Structure formats: C-alpha cells, structure tokens
Amino acid sequence: MIYGQALSLMSRKTLQIAMNGVTGRMGRNQHLIRSILALQNEGGLLLQDGTRLYPEPILIGRDQRRLQELASNLKVARWTTDLPGALADPNTEIYFDAQITSERARALTAAIEAGKHVYCEKPVAADLVTALELAQLAKKRGVKNGVVQDKLFLPGLLKLKQLITSGFFGRIFSVRAEFGYWVFDGYEVPAQRPSWNYRAEDGGGIILDMFCHWRYVLESLFGPAQSVLALGATHIPARMDESGKSYQATADDAAYAIFEIEKGIIAQINSSWCVRVHRDELFSIQVDGKLGSAVAGLRGCKVQHRVTTPKAVWNPDLPNSHDFYSDWVEVPDNQVFDNAFKAQWELFLLHVAEDRAFPYTLLEGAKGVQLAEAGMKSWKERRWIDLPELTLK
C-alpha cells in the first residue's frame, strides 16, 4: 500500500518517480533534496513546448519508520515499503535506485521487466556479467536507462574539460589524482561512512566504489582506459558498525593504480579512506602537457602555462626560496554551476520526456564495473590487465 495524498495538480506535466534507497545519505541529500525537490521548488523543468515537467517522488525503502519520518520532514506526500506495488503502478514512469550495491541489480531487473525507465547510482552491479545483463535487458525491453556519473558535472572538472577542448595543454603526457580522506573506524569517533562499505559480501570496497568513477572521468576527459595495474589494501582490518558492534573489514579501503589511456597518456590515481587530507579538496587531479598544466578539484581549477613555468633547479643543500604555488592562476567562474547530481537528473528527465540524447547509459555503468573487476584481478594476480571494448548484442 502507498501512504499519503497526491500533491495538488497544476497546469504542468507530472512525472512520477519511484525512488528507492533515499533514506541513505547520498540518496537523501543529493538525489532527493538537492535534485528532485529542488526541481519542484523551481516549479519543474521547462520543456520545449513551454510546459513544465514536474517530478513527483514516491519514497521506497524497507524501514517504515525511517521512510515515514523522512517523508514527514521533507513534506513528501507519498511513500511505501512495497516495491512491487510501486512498480505495478501505471503512473510510475521512472525507477531510481540508490540502495546498497548488493540489492541494486535485483530491483533494477524488476523495474525493467515492469517497463519502467531506470536511473541508478553506481556501481550498477557487483560484477560485470550482471551489469551487462541489465544493460542488455534494458535494450531488449526498450526502456530508457541511465547511471549517475556526477563527477563530470562538477565545476572543477567542467573547467578542466574546457581547457582540454581549447587545446590549452597541447599534447597531454600524464594525469595524477588523489582522492580520499580519513574515515574513522568507529571506536573513538563514529564512522562517517556506512559499515557495509567495508564488507565485500555487501558490495563494499573502494575499488568497486571509486573505479566506476575513474572509468568515466578518464574516458570523458582523456580517452578510454586500455589497461590497468592496481594494488589494493585493507589498512584498517577491524571497525565498529552503526550498532556499536565490532566487525572485521573484508573489503579494501585503499587502492593505488596506474591506467594506460589512448594516445600514450598515463594516469595514476590513489583512492583511500585511510589518508589524512593535505590538499585543497578531497579530490585533486593534475594534468601535465607540453604547453601547460592544470590542477583541478571538485570546484576549483588552477593553471600554469609554459611561459609562466619557473625554472626549478634541484639543490637539496639550500633552503627553497621560490613559492611554486604563486605561479598558478585560478580559472574564473565564467558561468553558474548547478548541483552536479541535479544537472544530470535534468538531462535524464529530458531524455525520458523529450527523447533528448543521454550518453550515460547502463552500458557505460558496466564499463565502470569492468574496470573495477580488472583492478581487483590485477591486485590478485599482480600484473597489468587489458580492458576490451564492451558492446551489446
């Protein structure tokens, strides 16, 4: 049964979205509050015919108390613990999934079989075979589908993309990125990430989580990753869960990887939940080319052209007298940047409503799972792993 009353209708086109897993931090904050409810507050999304597409969520989850509390706090009219019932509702056009990884594929399959368009968080599945089966099923059933690739819509990476497109770097040599922060183990300070992230049996692990991001970031900016050499680690073997119970961490909490990109570009990315931050942001990526370099974060981007590059000289016998940071220039905010998740939601809603192009499909999500599997295989076998092209039948 679905509880609550439908919102009063206005002269607009309402699009009903079943949103599963929004009691979690990411689903609640980024997808529900800052995307769907933000669009509601704006009066909906403007369509080409001048009408407004008004997204109306139905909150779905397994915990009735948490659902009811969330719906009440945010004044969302409808919620349910009955996923099959929500999928059987002919008014539900889109199913969105932000559950834990181990639950996603089953729910997505049910939604696709019910003829719903699907949009989901990454990773789309815990293994490549399942991820490809989902993409193939969506193609067979003719439903529109998409995977969250939020990093592409961040101001820092949008600025970096513009630099690449403009030819600022000339020929790009290398990419070096650092991602991560210290996640407390829960014993003295409560952990700021859910405990399932550190259990492999629940779909946890930083390789599965972050390599799905690195796949689309690298491909969008520099080109497809062709091979990977990775080393994972479980630096903190024991943690405390949400109930105060100690448990063994069975998933990796750090990964150190090298990626070969087309055109001879080499990318190095460290991902860690066991690192104390000494950089401007939690994510930093440096790109070096013949004509210039850039360092981008989530929001900012700094550049150094070759004509302003200092002539560094190695001399460990004398104190360094040069301020290397002063040779970098901030790329200005020449446009207004919206929330990254909301920006992609808008594209997917326009894809559903007006059949506009949307490249971030389940197949693209499967590529992320492919890279994660290759990274774990490289770690296990201690060798380079190639990444063959993925296609659907």
Task: For residue 53, give the H/E element and its range.
Answer: strand 52-60
Residues of the chain whose pLDDT is less than 70?
A: 1-10
3 DSSP 8-state letter = B
Quote the pLDDT of residue 2. Answer: 54
The DSSP result for 126-177, as a single string, is: SSHHHHHHHHHHHHHHT--EEE--GGGGSHHHHHHHHHHHHTTTSSEEEEEE
Q: How far apart are CA 261 and CA 175, in angstroms?
A: 10
| Pair 163, 303: CB distance under 8 Å | yes
What are 196-208's pLDDT values in tens digits?
999 999 989 999 9
Quote the pLDDT of residue 7. Answer: 39
- Please give the backbone phi and psi of residue 323, each rounded to the nearest 5 degrees, phi first: -90, 95
pTM of the model: 0.93
Quote the pLDDT of residue 5. Answer: 43
73 DSSP 8-state letter = H
Domains of the chain: 13-150+341-361 (3.40.50.720), 151-335+369-381 (3.30.360.10)
Question: b/e string for 54-79 if b means 16 or more Cβ within 10 A?
Answer: bbbbbbbbeeeebbbebbeeeebbbb
Question: CB neighbours of 293 closer than 8 A, spacing ≥ 6?
Answer: 169, 286, 287, 303, 304, 309
Say what the alpha-carbon torsion angle 378, 380, 382, 383 is, to the nearest 10 degrees.
-30
What are 358-385's pLDDT values in tens digits?
999 999 999 999 999 999 999 999 999 9
Quote the pLDDT of residue 8. Answer: 40
